[in-house]
Amino acid sequence: MNSSEAYSIFEQSINDYHVNDNIDAPIKNPYEQKDIRHLFYQKNWIDAVQWHLEDIIRDPEIDALEALKIKRRIDASNQVRTDMVEFIDSYFLDVYKSIQVKKDAKINTESPAWAYDRLSILALKIYHMKEEANRMDATDAHRKACQEKLMVLEEQLKDLCTAIDELLLDFEKGDKYMKVYKQMKMYNDDNLNPVLRARK
């Protein structure tokens, strides 16, 4: 799974989401569950829904109870997103488990799945910035500013894809090794969050 393959799946998910453009639309993942592409599609769909939840909650006139409901939905989505990243990393750990790591091999600051997480978010940024750059009810100045931002995002895309592919190549050659730490989020845990613990 190189960066261009992953990005293509992210674009497919984003385009599919925007057919209905509804945070409650059911996901119709086109890939079989055992296929790694299933995880990548699912991951980006979660990101797309959360992107729009973040838009909704910033409405200055949103009802307070509705805002709380959306905030809790975002929190739950973040936990699922983290779990998905860890599933994807498990896949890469399995892929590279038989690689003979060199004695001078180095560790990377982030795992492949967290790099792909950034690529998924970047795909969403590019999709929505393109929308803004082409929005006919916006001013010329707005469209021009968004086009300039889009150019920066597209340069970032090239750099990130290059970095991901080079990282995977380093793993294949044994120049780097994978080491994955679970996120261990504390605020969702009844035993680790003191507020939740007090409610038990």
Model confidence pLDDT, tens digit, residues 11-55 = 999 999 999 999 999 999 999 999 999 999 999 999 999 999 999
Which residues lie below 8 Å from residue 171, measured CB to CB, with a gap of 6+?
A: 92, 96, 99, 112, 177, 178
- pLDDT score, position 199: 72
pTM metric for this prediction: 0.90
Closest CA to 80 of 112, 45, 54: 45
Q: Which residues contact 74 (CB under 8 A, 6 or more apart)?
A: 50, 53, 54, 57
User: pLDDT tens, 66-86?
Assistant: 999 999 999 999 999 999 999
Tell me the pLDDT tens digit for each residue of 115-152: 999 999 999 999 999 999 999 999 999 999 999 999 99
198 pLDDT band, cuts 50/70/90, is confident
**Once rounded to an integer, what is the mean pLDDT over residues 145-174?**
97
